[in-house]
Chains A and B, each alone.
Chain A
């Protein structure tokens, strides 16, 4: 099935999603790689400068440029999700993040957390950086840029029809990466 949906996703909708479904999402997402995950894990949720809840989480270290004081995404495909495996169950537990976008798949620990929290993991084609950047309509905010650098900073992005996102791990424990 193919779905064109707005974020945040309702829990009924997420539970309906099955592996191999294709999503195109519109709304707010935030980027986080390992350093950002480490920082989020080490802080109390109230102390975070932003609220991840309601947004999609994008495993991405974008290539950005500043034009007339505004950030613009040049190339923004996904990064390898398995680096976030040790952090993701904690993040899913603490915040209402029900959509993870990445590439390459995640492990059993995350799969269990997806099931527990009613969330899905969807894959965007790796290396398709320009395709992804074209779907970013606005760079809404950036956090920890100076401390972590461009790839590792948290970028809050508004996206329009970001996809194709193939549901690769669903909320029932099914995974396209199993059995390969």
Chain B
């Protein structure tokens, strides 16, 4: 397999993720623009104009090009599993220079910037397996404005779903205008502390405007969206009807004595892109 060609594929994946947002997000922003007035409308108009400019100029739409997370699903017969990690890392360093990306990886012990978006445990790569001979990679660059507002609570199971709702809404209220609303809210319920947060982040991968296939969970998503949009926080916290574009919930079974809830908040610039790699090394960014 041609390593350089594969690296180019990851680079194009990062470029797309940083300079474009998916059509489902654009549709939701346009719907919000149609119903808002005043300062809220001014914000949405600028956001939509920025989306166009970023795509046209192939420049990162937000200066906070984020921490890069890659969700990798490898086919059990994919022939290049052994080199993927190294190829992703090399592509991230190249992307930092060539796109460019803002160097965002700081050593917490020394406060020095690594300069190339690499570092201990970064980029964050989450590996999973699937049948077949393809590899699917989703890139999710996420800025700190929204990530800093994420929260975990280990609830007592007795509080039930009402308690879960209260915690999600409280987290959104506390965040206010800081995570660049209208936000997308990813919620992970159940599992362990780390699994709840992981599910909350994975929930963000689902397109805006789609609900969970299980009706009970879909109803919880709708209820939460309605309550959150009644808070009046609005675009950029300046007041308005649209605080969230969507709420996505993922669920794991829980320990009888635990009810972990992870809330992962994503900004309006809900950037994500995906790449498929074929066994011969050819690829397409989607």
Interface residues of A (CB under 8 A from B): 20, 22, 60-63, 65, 74-77, 79-80, 82, 103-105, 123, 125-134, 149-151, 164, 166, 168, 176-177, 180
Are the C-beta atoms of A76 and B63 separated by less than 8 Å? yes
Residues in A with CB closer than 8 Å to B112 are 149
**Nearest CB on B from A120, distance (A):** 14
Complex contact A180–B43 (CB within 8 A): no
B103 to chain A, nearest CB (A): 6
CB contact under 8 A between A129 and B63, given known A63-B101, A151-B104, A177-B176: yes
Q: Which of chain B's residues has its CB closest to A65's CB?
A: B100
Counting residue pairs across A and B whose Cβ atoms lie within 8 Å, the total is 148
B64 to chain A: which residues have CB within 8 Å?
61, 77, 79, 129
Q: Is the CB of B238 within 8 A of A75?
A: no
Which of B4-12, B129-137, B156-164, B229-237 makes up part of the contact surface? Answer: B229-237
Complex Cα distance, B177 from A19, in Å, reads 16
Given A149-B106, A164-B42, A168-B238, A131:B53 Cβ within 8 A = yes
Contact for A150 among B113, B179, B239, CB less than 8 A: B113
Query: In the bound complex, do residue A127 and residue B61 qualify as a contact, i.e. CB atoms below 8 Å apart?
Result: yes
A147 to B230 Cα, complex, angstroms = 45
| CB pair A126 B180 closer than 8 Å | yes
Indicate if B60 sits at the interface (CB-CB under 8 A). Answer: yes
Instruction: Knowing that A105-B176, A130-B50, A177-B176 touch, tell me 6 more A-B residue pairs with CB under 8 angstroms.
Output: A80-B145, A123-B236, A128-B49, A131-B49, A151-B103, A166-B39
Is B267 a contact partner of A127 (Cβ separation < 8 A)? yes
Contact B177 A104 (CB under 8 A): yes
Q: Enumerate B86-121 residues with CB–CB distance to A below 8 Å.
A: 100-104, 106, 112-113, 115
* Top-6 shortest CB links A-B: A126-B180, A149-B113, A104-B178, A128-B50, A125-B46, A75-B63
Known interface pairs A20-B38, A164-B46. Does A63 touch B63 (Cβ–Cβ under 8 Å)?
yes
How far does the Cβ of B101 sit from chain A's closest Cβ, in whole Å? Answer: 7
Q: Does B80 sit at the interface, judged by CB under 8 A?
A: no
Q: Cβ of A105 and Cβ of B177 under 8 Å apart? A: yes
User: In the complex, are the beta carbons of A105 and B237 less than 8 A apart?
Assistant: yes
Residue of A nearest to B18 (CB): A75
Complex interface: chain A residues within 8 A of B232 (CB): 180
Most buried by A among B42, B148, B238: B238
Given A63-B102, A149-B103, A176 contacting B63 (CB threshold 8 A): no
What is the CB-to-nearest-CB distance from B63 to chain A, in angstroms, rounded to a whole number? 4
Partner of A176, one of B39, B47, B101, B102: B39
7 pairs across A/B with beta carbons < 8 Å?
A22-B42, A60-B63, A74-B59, A74-B63, A75-B54, A125-B236, A177-B177
In the bound assembly, the distance between CA atoms of A163 and B18 in angstroms comes to 23
Contacts of B102 in A (CB 8 A): 61-63, 75, 150-151
- Taking CB atoms, residues of chain B closer than 8 Å to A125 are 42-43, 46-47, 50, 236
Instruction: Determine which of A61, A75, A80, A131 lies in contact with B60 in the assembled complex, contact meaning CB atoms within 8 Å.
Output: A75
Contacting residues, chain B, for A150 (C-beta < 8 A): 102-103, 113
